[in-house]
Structure 1
Amino acid sequence: MTYTVNCSILLTDLPVLERPAAAKAAGYDAVEFWWPFATAVPAQADVDAFVAAIQDAGVQLTGLNFFAGDMGGGDRGLVSWVGREDEFAANIAVVVEIGKRLGTKAFNALYGNRIEGVDPQAQDDLAVKNLAAAGRAVAELGGIVLLEPVSGMETYPLKTAADALAIIDRVKAEEGVDNVKLLADFYHLAVNGDDVAAVIAGHAAEFGHIQIADAPGRGEPGTGDLPLAQWIADAEAGGYTGVIGLEYKATQSDPFAWAAASTH
């Protein structure tokens, strides 16, 4: 098993550009990030600095989120956000540039919240178009777009694996794009009441990525009561061959102490 450290939720006592080196120092060779910039199209110098931080640390960027809006303010993506189509399209180009430069293959497109006064069907129709555009763009890198059920936001409509898979099926059927895959975040699925074991049994080989945190609390493995090790083993037995994203909130000074005895 190979872990990849989510440097947007872990190592947050350090500046963003110092986190890849800190992950490397802790013994990890792979990292992933939410969108690390404040805007969909950051200054080229900022992109260059981010790329250099990854390269200088000697780690692989295994995953990167598309711009998701103001996450701190409650935004959860632009994919279904009617009125911000041009912004999402512009962000795709930057994501592809970073992917090309760093060899990144997986790109998480947060779906976006329901917008008051906007027809949900219109949002879903736009999402299918945007996901297809993103999928076509990253296909030139041999990449995939990830679609993720998320907890904690009542207005975020994809709460179960089935919710996300229904949209993924639409993208394939209506747009002919087949490189949009489920991001199975075991924490989000469990907190939302999904049957994680059944999702794994039915879809493990189709997962584009797995992320983990324990529940309750979203802390590191062992701080809650989720059978994370068993779920990972079952997913791998079921055909999942990718990395495991560490996307939890550290509860100890050493955020990786729980894994000290394991191979990473």
Structure 2
Amino acid sequence: MKLIPCIEMLYQAEHPDFIQRFRAARADGFDAVDTWLWRDKPLDAIVDVMAETGVAVNSFCVDPRASLVDVADHATVLSGVRDAVPVAQRLGGARMIVASGFRMAGVNEAEQRTRIVQVLREAARIAEDGGAQILLEPVHMVIGGQLMAVHTVRQGLDIVEEVNSPALRLLADVYHGAVSGETFEQAFADRIGLVGHVQVADLEGRHEPGTGTLPWPTLLPLLRERGYTGAVGLEYLPSRPIAESLALTRRALGL
């Protein structure tokens, strides 16, 4: 099971230049990275540095971010997916990340889920037609008293299962799951086949594994036992120089 650094967070302090982070990741033995929004990125330079280093882009975010809950945003969601598909193709099959957006006051939970499933079915069709894949990421975030509509791994798995498309899988960020109160076992249960990517950070502080309270020695054995064969993304805020941070992470995860 390999590790994939999110270069929006890792290498940022050492390498303010985004492209240089690909070279730094390669020097540390990584062959893929995760990123966030793409419209502000130098795509030509990314393609060039991918060819130079052999470092692939594993995932990036659909841009702009829009709500899966608010039907007024659905056209923006679908337009964003359409725009992201050729980017995914250009980046060698990188997956496209979406989050649900916030709960809507006055709209019951069942209706919110119906809306999310509806727009994701159409988004998955667009992705599948383009040979791409979407990752739904549950995110625990509260703004203005409103929590994200999909904030636990279990909720995300329920939605991916209902959409029932090979072009939609779950990005299981165990940090957000833990903030929501999930244990690793509760999160993954018996539907690991619906998980396309796993990301990690410790609780609290969102720093590297080994700095907080989560039981990291149990995570990889659990994933292997359940049949997960993908990578583990490092989406955390380094609390120390990158070499020390990565060494601590590898010890904590057992990789």
Compared CA separation, residues 16 and 80, structure 1 to 2 (3 A): farther
Compared CA separation, residues 259 and 215, structure 1 to 2 (3 A): closer
What is the aligned-residue RMSD (CA, Å)?
A: 2.7
Q: Which moved more, 1:240-249 or 1:219-228?
A: 219-228
SS of match in other structure, 1:34? strand
Separation of aligned partners in 2, 1:24 and 1:90: 33
Contact 1:109/1:146 (8 A) holds in 2: yes
Q: Which residue of 2 aligns with 1:128?
A: 117
Q: Which moved more, 1:46-55 or 1:99-108?
A: 46-55
Map 1:1-264 → 2, pairs under 5 A: 1-13=1-13, 14-38=16-40, 46-69=42-65, 77-116=66-105, 123-140=112-129, 142-153=131-142, 154-172=146-164, 177-254=165-242, 255-259=245-249
Separation of aligned partners in 2, 1:68 and 1:229: 37
Unaligned residue ranges in structure 2 (runs of 5+): none
With normalisation by structure 2, the TM-score equals 0.83
Compared CA separation, residues 23 and 81, structure 1 to 2 (3 A): farther
Q: CA deviation at 1:219?
A: 0.7
Q: CA deviation at 1:6?
A: 0.9
Contact 2:153/2:188 (8 A) holds in 1: no
Separation of aligned partners in 1, 2:208 and 2:173: 13
SS of match in other structure, 2:71? coil
Separation of aligned partners in 2, 1:211 and 1:104: 19
Unaligned residue ranges in structure 1 (runs of 5+): 70-76
Q: CA deviation at 1:178?
A: 4.2
Q: CA deviation at 1:12?
A: 2.1
- Deviations 1:28-82, CA, capped at 9 Å, x for gaps: 11101111335xxx8xxx433343343333201111221253xxxxxxx433343
- Deviations 1:181-234, CA, capped at 9 Å, x for gaps: 222111111111013213334222331111111111111111112122321221
- Deviations 1:128-179, CA, capped at 9 Å, x for gaps: 233122222332455432222212324202122232223223323xxxx343
In the alignment of these two chains, the number of paired residues is 247
Compared CA separation, residues 227 and 260, structure 1 to 2 (3 A): closer
With normalisation by structure 1, the TM-score equals 0.81
Contact 1:212/1:244 (8 A) holds in 2: yes
